[in-house]
Amino acid sequence: MAGNRALRMGAILAGAAAVAAAGWALREVPAALGGRPSGQRAARMRRSPHFTGAAFANSSPVVVATPGQGGRLLRDMMASGPRRKPAGPVPVLVPSAAAESDLDIVWYGHATTLVEIEGRRVLFDPVWSDRCSPAPLAGPKRLHPPPVPAEELPPLDAIVISHDHYDHLDMATVRTLTRTQVAPFLVPLGVGAHLDRWGVPANRIVELDWDETFTIAGLGVTLTEARHFSGRAFSRNPTLWGSWVLAGERRKVFYTGDSGYFDGYARLGAQYGPFDVTLMQIGAYSPSWPDIHMTPEEAVEAHLALGGDLLVPVHWATFVLAFHGWAEPVDRLWREAKDRGLRIAVPRPGERISVDRPPVVDAWWQAVG
């Protein structure tokens, strides 16, 4: 009897410990959901021509998920299908500290990319957490480690966010960069409310509408149109999203953020291009959401419409966010680029590349895919 009571007590204590541990792990979830725009921030949002009265809207209609696709999505989720994770470790490099030219790219994985342009450093969509989720125990898990800790990044001139989805805007990373860097955060309208909640000083938050430019360290940083959506909880499109143009005295960079293909790329190319390099979203596409993420072939079309020279793919390899094979996006991109005679570079996570002298594409991903 005494032994049974001891076992029951042990089970109760173990259960209580598990509940306490889960509660501790989930304590930050409300904060991770972000903040709600209010006051002058909300008033400025309402003045935007892209705000419809209740939310932001794309310039052309967007279907986030094709109607009637619930059954198809469930079948895709359960199917053995293509390999959605690499078969072996993804090769990760520690980038060299010194720039090789006046325009270098360091891709850290997924969309997180450092651009070193004319002696300045701009970091796009930094995510260093193990999961892109508001909860540390759930959500897509990182497939490779970050090439370097966020605390060891060199001094930055600007930190640029494309939109507020968890795989592009990460609370823990923002808090780290707030503590370790002095650079401002450049974000679309409304996204500053999240940063406010996470302790970013107001003087380090710059919010822009489409086609607005902020000048920092001699660089023009312009938020431009994208075809996507926003939201971290249950509301849809409470903040703006976008792509970005980075312009120095001689060099120009375009970053798509997340976007479906749309005819606005030709306008953006005519207005802001041509570009020395484009950072193009190529992964997490599906026939079930054709309007919000480009396929690799559409990324090539957008690159051409923008007047891009070198194409560097992003938004693949790090998190499983769709049902295609892990290596499929870059395989399709490489094939299309060869057919169209385009210059591309496919760096390993952490690999530094010079835009003018990129490494030859060596299909490194096929050895682990």
How far apart CA 152 and CA 306 sit, in angstroms, is 34
Average pLDDT across the chain, whole number: 92
Examine the pLDDT at 35 and tell me if it is beyond 90.
Answer: yes
How far apart CA 161 and CA 243 sit, in angstroms, is 9
What is the band of 1 on the pLDDT scale with cuts at 50, 70, 90? Answer: low
Per-residue confidence (pLDDT) for residue 66, from 0 to 100 = 60
Per-residue confidence (pLDDT) for residue 73, from 0 to 100 = 52
Which amino acid would we find at residue 266? A
What is the band of 20 on the pLDDT scale with cuts at 50, 70, 90? Answer: very low
In which order are the strands placed within the sheet that holds 158-160?
Answer: 205-208, 185-188, 158-160, 120-124, 112-117, 103-109, 352-354
For residue range 294-353, what is the model confidence (pLDDT) as tens digits? 999 999 999 999 999 999 999 999 999 999 999 999 999 999 999 999 999 999 999 999
Strands 212-216 and 205-208: unpaired
Strands 185-188 and 275-281: unpaired
For residue range 186-240, what is the model confidence (pLDDT) as tens digits? 999 999 999 999 999 999 999 999 999 999 999 999 999 999 999 998 889 999 9
Residue 43, classified by CB atoms within 10 Å of its CB into exposed (0-12), middle (13-18) or buried (19+), is exposed
Per-residue confidence (pLDDT) for residue 121, from 0 to 100 = 98
What is the band of 76 on the pLDDT scale with cuts at 50, 70, 90? Answer: low
Please give the C-alpha separations between residue 362 and each of 77, 96, 114, 198, 352, in angstroms, as whole numbers. 31, 20, 22, 41, 15
Q: What is the mean pLDDT of residues 101-108?
A: 98
What is the band of 61 on the pLDDT scale with cuts at 50, 70, 90? Answer: confident
How far apart CA 250 and CA 103 sit, in angstroms, is 10
Residues 6+ apart with CB under 8 A from 33: 134, 232, 233
Lowest mean pLDDT among 72-76, 132-136, 272-276, 360-364: 72-76
Per-residue confidence (pLDDT) for residue 9, from 0 to 100 = 58
Residues 6+ apart with CB under 8 A from 10: none
Q: Which ranges in the chain belong to alpha helices (H)? A: 2-25, 29-32, 39-47, 70-78, 171-180, 192-197, 264-272, 296-306, 328-340
Per-residue confidence (pLDDT) for residue 19, from 0 to 100 = 39
Q: What is the mean pLDDT of residues 260-267?
A: 98
Quickly count: other Cβ atoms within 10 Å of residue 164's Cβ. Answer: 22
Per-residue confidence (pLDDT) for residue 53, from 0 to 100 = 87
Please say whether the beta carbons of 112 and 126 come within 8 A.
Answer: yes
Per-residue confidence (pLDDT) for residue 15, from 0 to 100 = 47
How far apart CA 76 and CA 24 sit, in angstroms, is 34
